[in-house]
Structure 1
Amino acid sequence: MIRNILKKISWTFVVVSIISLLGCNNIDKHQAADVEKLLKEKYGQEFTVKSIGGRYGTANNDTVTTYVHPINHESFLFKAVMTKDGKLVADSYIPRMISDSLNQVLQQELQNKGIESETFTFVMQADSSKETNPDISLEEYVTTYKPGYFSAHMIVKENENVTGENFEDALKTVYQAGLKTTFQVGIREIAAEEYEEALTEYKQLPEVSSSWFRNYNVIEEIDAVVDGNGYHFLTVGSNT
């Protein structure tokens, strides 16, 4: 009961403090329209700003941060940042797509082990900010931008198959798919009765931080990595 109350309070705080719903005022609508236009010009696709975070208007802030999704893919959220002069200075659309590609590889491999999963991967040490092709493949991306490594957060449903050994084949497969780019991941096994709720929220996150997992009953945490030296894992414990 206490965990559920704290979880709801925590999630409400995150939503209120980070995201202001679109439509609050005319300024929000204008900023959202500008970001959508800039992204369409860059990628040749339609986008919708779902929410707005940090805004310009102070001496130390001359940008507005928005959370955006392709018009027909509402759960695919990413971040876009625009200056008060109307310039798109950063967005995570392409890295988010690469994350999704890696997630699909891992999901399929882990399903073969009887493990339900969802992964959010960060592309590290690669600057693809000028990339405009939304159809770029994982192989093309790695060949062109040569990321230093991939770093990921994964949630899995509580299951007797969730052991460090059972992630080896999946991580070796994603290592090969990424052209032998190091892949490291923090795996959180979420209590079965909480997994569906966690999964729904997880899919809606434009980015993931370690603190988010405190909202849920993590049965066990496993840190794993696959690189040129092979596969290694460490069972860390839980947050209970």
Structure 2
Amino acid sequence: MKKIIMKVGLIIMALTTMVTMSACSKINNDTANDVCSALSEKYGESFVAVKIGDRFNTDSAKLYVHPADNEDILFTARINKDTGAVEDNYIEEKVNYQVEDTLKNAFELNGISAASRCMVVTRDTLSVETEEYTPQTFSEKYGFTHYTVYLVLKDGTYTAHDVLNAVKFANDTIGVKLVIAGYVFEDDGYSKCVSEIQSTPDISITMIEAISPISSFDVNVEQGMCSITEDELSEKLGRS
């Protein structure tokens, strides 16, 4: 009799879990559809939601979203619990992506595999108008002086000269000061770090350092001038 009761209890628990998961899945799908629909109306583009969180005990539900034609532009959209409005940082992340793509291409030209996460750090949250910007026009309009970049490099035979060439070229193309925290990883760590960058728009230094880089460096680049010399960077990279 006890075995029968236990089996019935397990079946009920399984059914309850399935119903709960199904209900949560429907809520998540409905939320994602609502957010993507609102974003499409706002920007005239199609969007895809890839992750949802912060539903409970917060002021809003947070989603990670990207435009349907470019999954590399990952941004955050929120439904404000009080107003029901969708709030997002799509325009800002479109500009950040230009910086990231420029850096990636600059390092590729120097034979280096690289990925980055760019951000604008300001005292107050930016209230951005829906326009098309370059990194330079965005900086000029909203009055900030630099882009902060978390840069990850795959270890290789490149030199400090190659790294500085890449950041100088990127800075010249972007036209705005870059404040870079750089990290070098062996193959597995690099792949893991790139995966984190691609899936998390609000990645932190703590998350990057937890993957155990083999070396790190800081460099500020402005108007072709770097805050670190080749010899200093060589030492940081373990090339000296």
- What is the aligned partner in structure 1 of residue 90 from structure 2? 93
Question: AA paired with 2:61?
Answer: V
Question: AA paired with 1:139?
Answer: Q
The answer to whether the Cα contact below 8 Å between 1:142 and 1:178 also exists between their aligned partners in 2 is no
Q: Which runs of 4+ in 1 moved over 4 A?
A: 234-238
TM-score relative to the length of structure 1: 0.75
Structure 1 runs not aligned, ≥5 long? 1-20
- What is the aligned partner in structure 2 of residue 68 from structure 1? 65
- What is the aligned partner in structure 2 of residue 13 from structure 1? none
Return the offset for 1:154.
0.7
The answer to whether the Cα contact below 8 Å between 1:65 and 1:80 also exists between their aligned partners in 2 is yes
- What is the aligned partner in structure 2 of residue 130 from structure 1? 128
- What is the aligned partner in structure 2 of residue 213 from structure 1? 208
Q: Distance in 2 between matches of 1:111 and 1:129?
A: 34
Q: Distance in 2 between matches of 1:104 and 1:29?
A: 31
CA 1:237–1:177 in 2, change beyond 3 Å: closer, same or farther? closer
TM-score relative to the length of structure 2: 0.75
Return the offset for 1:23.
7.8
1:122-148 per-residue CA deviation (whole Å, 9 max, x = no partner) reads 123386533223x43333323322323
Question: AA paired with 2:196?
Answer: E
The answer to whether the Cα contact below 8 Å between 1:46 and 1:71 also exists between their aligned partners in 2 is yes
CA 1:24–1:232 in 2, change beyond 3 Å: closer, same or farther? same
Pick from 57, 74, 77: which aligns with 1:77?
74
Calculate percent identity across the aligned residue pairs: 22
Alignment of 1:8-157 (within 5 A): 24-56=24-56, 58=57, 61-84=58-81, 85-89=83-87, 91-125=88-122, 128-133=126-131, 135-157=132-154
- For the pair shown, the structure with the greater C-alpha radius of gyration is 2
Aligned-residue CA RMSD (Å): 2.9
CA 1:219–1:79 in 2, change beyond 3 Å: closer, same or farther? same
The answer to whether the Cα contact below 8 Å between 1:182 and 1:225 also exists between their aligned partners in 2 is yes
Structure 2 runs not aligned, ≥5 long? 1-20
2:202 maps to 1:204: no
More strand, by proportion: 1
- What is the aligned partner in structure 1 of residue 184 from structure 2? 189
